[in-house]
Amino acid sequence: MKVNILRRETRDKEPYWESFIYNGPEDNSVAGLLDYINYNDDIRNDKGEKTTRIDWECSCIQGICGACAMIVNDKPVLACEAFLRDIEGEEITLRPLSKFPVIHDLVVERPMHEILTDNNVFIGEYSPAENRDFQQDYNAAKCLKCGLCIEVCPKYTDGRMFYGAPFANDCYLVAARNEQKAGEIAEIYEKHFKSECAYDLACEKICPMGIKFTASMKKLNSIKRGDGDRSF
Amino acid sequence: MDALIIGSGIAGMACAVRLARHGIHVTLISPSLSEHSESVMAAGGINAMLTENDEGDSVESHVQDTLKGGSYIGGEEAVRGLCGHGEEIIRFLESIGTVFSVDGEGRPSRRAFGGQSHKRTYYCGASTGKQIVSALVMETRRFEAAGMITRRLKYSFHSGLIKDGICYGALLFNLERSRLEAFFSDFTVIATGGQNALFGKTTGSTMCDGYAAGRLFMQGADLKNLEFIQYHPTTLETPQKKMLISEAVRGEGGRLFYLENGERVYFMEDKYGEKGNLMTRDIVSREIYGCGKDVFLDISFLDGQTIDERLPEVRDLCMKYRGIDIKKEPIPVTPSVHFFMGGLAVHLNHETSILNLFAVGECASMYHGANRLGGNSLLSAMYSGFVAADEISGRYSHRKYPDFSTYMENERKILNKDYDSRSSFPVFYIRDLLSVTMNDDLGIVRDEKNLKKGRKKTDYYLSVADKLRYDRSVSQYTNYSLKAMLTLAGATLKAAEERRESRGAHYRSDYNETKDEYAYATLVSYINGDYSVRLDRENIYES
């Protein structure tokens, strides 16, 4: 199998394509494929030229940390959950997520943590509303901050004004746990999410954790409207 | 006063938020987001004695279960502190928004875990670690916004800034700029997790490699109980790694069996009775290893709704990676390296043998003795972070730092020398050899011959490591971490060789009895390039 990878040495250098030939196990994932190529004693590209090892992030290798998010054949995925058996054709193309600055090869800088900190999206004093929806809280708290939802979002550009689904998700988690802060959080949510969201719901479809962003958004919208439906 | 915490998983964050609450500024270092830490992989639950626990359960009962599980070398005073704070920790986690699974009346639910006399494992579905991480990330963010915690991402540990047995901070490697930077601090806390990478790919994170413990060992810190390595009895083999099948499956009634003449043999129940499947992990692992057959774990008899509610992550993992429907068929399981009871030796206050240097979480050896009970790791990660923070908050700032410029210049030269190399000798090659050695010679069942063989090999790799010209296309961290990892591996083999008995997770086929003369922790010091192994008969780390 031919593997085409969009590589980059550093932030300030231009990206370039390099191809490799993969002859490893057919039941591997893309994460396994990258390990296979990198762990060879001598790494060479498809022209037989000696080259450098491919940099990518990984930690759990089982779809629960989100570190290995990348684009495989034009589809944003977690590399450890993308299996070669599902790839059509004899070639596979790997690119870093396109909405974030690339640090090196397939490694990107995801800004969600800074955005959430800068906007005071934290619980503070815990005072949850009555009738909490534990299932929704549980699902929302599984967000990996992997960035796949942002990659497919038609509205997210550079993260300066519109912050994307992980932002809305954490706003929900704060509002669900601190009733006093719910109004303040709903205002921030309105400004940096709701007013721009296209309700395309690509975020929900791609989420590897299956988080129901719409349920979070519905609750935050009702707080914003002040229609009294503040149950969680 | 300030503190430097290296590692931002549960133990690191617990320490950070506790220090921030004490008014102490924290710099929190990690190569990646907390969401990428190994802590998110802890599945099953967290043990605690709460007032609503079953009648007959008590803190004392939790203490006795923990000490017994650890074959009575876990340190009684330390274990009493751990178990005595279970309720406080659960209440704290609830108060920062951790989403515990609840019963019909909204109270946190409990499940049974191996080696426990009562049902006291509180849980969040099958992703307890992830839920705790999410809550702690939010709480950390609160103090980041207030300027009390500063996160520095894309940094890895290089070495301690240590002089005359006192730590003044750490030399860190800036992964993006590929350079060493000094971070001075009143107190330094290591929270870097276990030494998984010595064994290649385990159930845990690829980021946990034991380097920090190995390097600090070479800089004078004592190590403890390295030979006690927990094999989790139920992991699922996949092409990329062995994946943990949570003990929650057995907690929910899962049964282990193998096939003989087409009939199921429930070997754990046959040998140990009704609770056989929930024996401690060391016993179950040895029984699976010893039976020499393909072993399966069956939960398919539970109704589908219960599986969906209580074990959704296990259901999804088996389907995704192996196409196994756990509602219809049993799971093929095999033991795999899972947790390290050994690590940096720490006193009751979690300070290492080096003044002002602390260690918390899995990289520190405390509480678990010769074998850890399921559900006690999350408890100890939280508790150890709190203990270290409380200790630091009672100390004074020294604010006078010795001159480390010669040390730093020397380390930079060593790094640059490796980086200037044009050789293609891959450090991965030696890491692969190391993992084969450790799995072969330090497995579930050990003997002197294999342990000596393993040591001979690690000694050889170490002798080569000094002469290597590294492959410059591998990250410099991967290169410079090799020698300390090999040193840690050598110390581990030596500790296992010196413990000529069987205890907990350390099983010797040539010394298969537990001996009173070995009822102490093992300590290892690094002296003039060699390992000095002794038993802690004076209990110096029990104070």
Find the CB nearest B36 among A31, A66, A137.
A66
Nearest CA in chain B to A175: B97
The tens digit of pLDDT for each residue in A43-69 reads 899 999 989 889 999 999 999 999 999
Residues of B (309-338) whose Cβ lies below 8 Å from A? 313, 317, 320-321
Contacting residues for B475 by C-beta, under 8 A, at least 6 apart = A55, B175
pLDDT-based confidence at residue B248 (cuts at 50, 70, 90): confident
Residue A133: what pLDDT?
83
Test the A interface: residue of B10, B148, B202, B240 with most A CBs within 10 Å: B240
Whether residues B139 and A177 touch (CB distance < 8 A) is answered with: no
Residue A20: what pLDDT?
97
**What is the spatial distance between Cα B93 and Cα B78, in angstroms, rounded to a whole number?**
21
Q: How far is CA B52 from CA A197, B56, B132, B326, in A?
A: 45, 11, 21, 32
Residues of B (464-523) whose Cβ lies below 8 Å from A? 471-475
Whether residues A60 and B40 touch (CB distance < 8 A) is answered with: yes
Q: Which residues of B touch A133 (CB under 8 A)?
A: none
Whether residues A138 and B207 touch (CB distance < 8 A) is answered with: no
Contact of B530 with B82, CB cutoff 8 Å: no
Q: Which residues of B touch A55 (CB under 8 A)?
A: 475
Residue B132 Cα, gap to closest chain A Cα (Å): 9
Residue B346 Cα, gap to closest chain A Cα (Å): 27
The tens digit of pLDDT for each residue in B389-405 reads 999 999 988 778 999 99
Chain A contact present for B37, CB below 8 A:
yes
* Domain-located, residue B420: yes
Task: Tell me which amino acid residue A79 is.
Answer: A
Q: How far apart are the first and last CA of chain B?
A: 25
pLDDT-based confidence at residue B490 (cuts at 50, 70, 90): very high
Residue A230: what pLDDT?
45
Q: Residue B304 above 80 pLDDT?
A: yes
**What is the spatial distance between Cα B543 and Cα B541, in angstroms, rounded to a whole number?**
5
The tens digit of pLDDT for each residue in B159-169 reads 999 999 999 99
ipTM higher than the 0.90 cut: yes
**What is the spatial distance between Cα B65 and Cα B383, in angstroms, rounded to a whole number?**
18
The tens digit of pLDDT for each residue in B313-325 reads 899 999 988 999 9
Find the CB nearest B473 among A43, A138, A173.
A43
Provide the mean pLDDT of chain A.
91
Contact of B28 with B16, CB cutoff 8 Å: yes
CATH 3.40.1010.10 fits A112-225, yes or no: no
Whether residues A59 and B145 touch (CB distance < 8 A) is answered with: no
* Domain-located, residue B296: yes
What average pLDDT does this structure show over A114-126? Answer: 93
Find the CB nearest A41 among B145, B207, B426.
B426
Q: What is the CATH number of the domain that holds B286?
A: 3.90.700.10
Q: What is the CATH number of the domain that holds B531?
A: 1.20.58.100
Residues of B (184-223) whose Cβ lies below 8 Å from A? 201, 205-207
Residue A232: what pLDDT?
39
**What is the spatial distance between Cα B144 and Cα A119, in angstroms, rounded to a whole number?**
11
Task: Tell me which amino acid residue B114 is.
Answer: G
Nearest CA in chain A to B204: A60
State whether B535 and B414 are in the same domain.
yes
Q: Which residues of A touch B151 (CB under 8 A)?
A: 113
Considering B337, B363, B383, which residue would you say is the last residue of a domain?
A: B337
Q: Which residues of A touch B205 (CB under 8 A)?
A: 59-60, 65
The tens digit of pLDDT for each residue in B47-68 reads 999 998 999 999 999 999 999 9
Residue A43 Cα, gap to closest chain B Cα (Å): 9
* Domain-located, residue B419: yes
Residue B421 Cα, gap to closest chain A Cα (Å): 14
State whether B420 and B321 are in the same domain.
no
Q: What is the CATH number of domain A2-108?
A: 3.10.20.30
Chain A contact present for B145, CB below 8 A:
yes
Residue B280: what pLDDT?
85
The DSSP letter of residue A194 is I
What are the residue ranges of CATH 3.10.20.30 in chain A? 2-108
As annotated, the active-site residues of B are 281
Considering B288, B307, B337, which residue would you say is the last residue of a domain?
A: B337
Whether residues B102 and A65 touch (CB distance < 8 A) is answered with: no
Whether residues B38 and A60 touch (CB distance < 8 A) is answered with: yes
The proportion of chain B whose per-residue pLDDT surpasses 90, expressed as a percent, equals 82
Nearest CA in chain B to A10: B176
* Domain-located, residue B429: yes
* Domain-located, residue B478: yes
The tens digit of pLDDT for each residue in B411-447 reads 999 888 766 655 555 688 888 899 999 999 999 999 9
Burial (CB count within 10 angstroms: exposed 0-12, middle 13-18, buried 19+), residue A47: exposed
Whether residues A62 and B473 touch (CB distance < 8 A) is answered with: no
* Domain-located, residue B79: no
Chain A contact present for B141, CB below 8 A:
yes
Q: Residue A125 above 90 pLDDT?
A: no
pLDDT-based confidence at residue B96 (cuts at 50, 70, 90): very high
Q: Which residues of B touch A174 (CB under 8 A)?
A: 138
What is the layout of strands, in order, in the sheet containing B229-237? Answer: B242-244, B229-237, B331-340, B295-298, B255-260, B263-265
Nearest CA in chain B to A124: B142
Contacting residues for B364 by C-beta, under 8 A, at least 6 apart = B190, B343, B344, B346, B350, B384
Nearest CA in chain A to B97: A177
Find the CB nearest A120 among B94, B96, B145.
B145
Chain A contact present for B33, CB below 8 A:
yes
Residues of B (429-448) whose Cβ lies below 8 Å from A? 429, 432
Find the CB nearest A122 among B124, B142, B243.
B142
* Domain-located, residue B276: yes
Residues of B (44-83) whose Cβ lies below 8 Å from A? none
* Domain-located, residue B497: yes
Containing structural domain, residue B304: 232-337
Q: Which residues of A touch B40 (CB under 8 A)?
A: 60, 64-65
Chain A contact present for B463, CB below 8 A:
no
Find the CB nearest B32 among A52, A61, A67.
A67
State whether B309 and B409 are in the same domain.
no
Question: Chains A and B: how many Cβ contacts under 8 Å?
Answer: 132
Whether residues B41 and A62 touch (CB distance < 8 A) is answered with: yes
Residue B149: what pLDDT?
98
Q: Which pair of structure tokens corresponds to residue B221?
A: 């810190």
Q: Residue A231 above 50 pLDDT?
A: no
Least confident of A191-200, B87-96, B462-471, B494-503: B462-471
What average pLDDT does this structure show over A86-90? Answer: 89
State whether B426 and B535 are in the same domain.
yes
Name which of B337, B338, B347, B343 is nearest B361 in CA terms. Answer: B343
Residue B420: what pLDDT?
63
Residue A103 Cα, gap to closest chain B Cα (Å): 7
Q: Residue B272 above 90 pLDDT?
A: yes
Whether residues B239 and A25 touch (CB distance < 8 A) is answered with: yes
How many structural domains is chain B composed of? 2
State whether B328 and B419 are in the same domain.
no
State whether B327 and B419 are in the same domain.
no
Residue A3: what pLDDT?
98
Chain A contact present for B7, CB below 8 A:
no
What are the residue ranges of CATH 1.10.1060.10 in chain A? 112-225
Whether residues A53 and B321 touch (CB distance < 8 A) is answered with: no
Residue B421: what pLDDT?
59
pLDDT-based confidence at residue A179 (cuts at 50, 70, 90): confident
pLDDT-based confidence at residue A102 (cuts at 50, 70, 90): very high
Chain A contact present for B239, CB below 8 A:
yes
Test the B interface: residue of A65, A83, A103, A171 with most B CBs within 10 Å: A65
Q: Which residues of B touch A39 (CB under 8 A)?
A: 428, 432
Residue A83: what pLDDT?
94
Nearest CA in chain A to B135: A141
The tens digit of pLDDT for each residue in B121-150 reads 999 988 899 999 999 999 999 999 999 999
Q: Which pair of structure tokens corresponds to residue A31?
A: 């994460």
State whether B285 and B411 are in the same domain.
no
The tens digit of pLDDT for each residue in B365-388 reads 999 999 999 999 999 999 999 999
Residue A127: what pLDDT?
85
Q: Is B506 helix (H, G, I), strand (E, B) or coil?
A: strand
Radius of gyration of chain A (CA): 20
**What is the spatial distance between Cα B219 and Cα B215, in angstroms, rounded to a whole number?**
6
Name which of B27, B17, B56 is nearest B181 in CA terms. Answer: B27
State whether B425 and B333 are in the same domain.
no
**What is the spatial distance between Cα B542 and Cα B526, in angstroms, rounded to a whole number?**
21
The tens digit of pLDDT for each residue in B20-38 reads 999 999 999 999 999 999 9
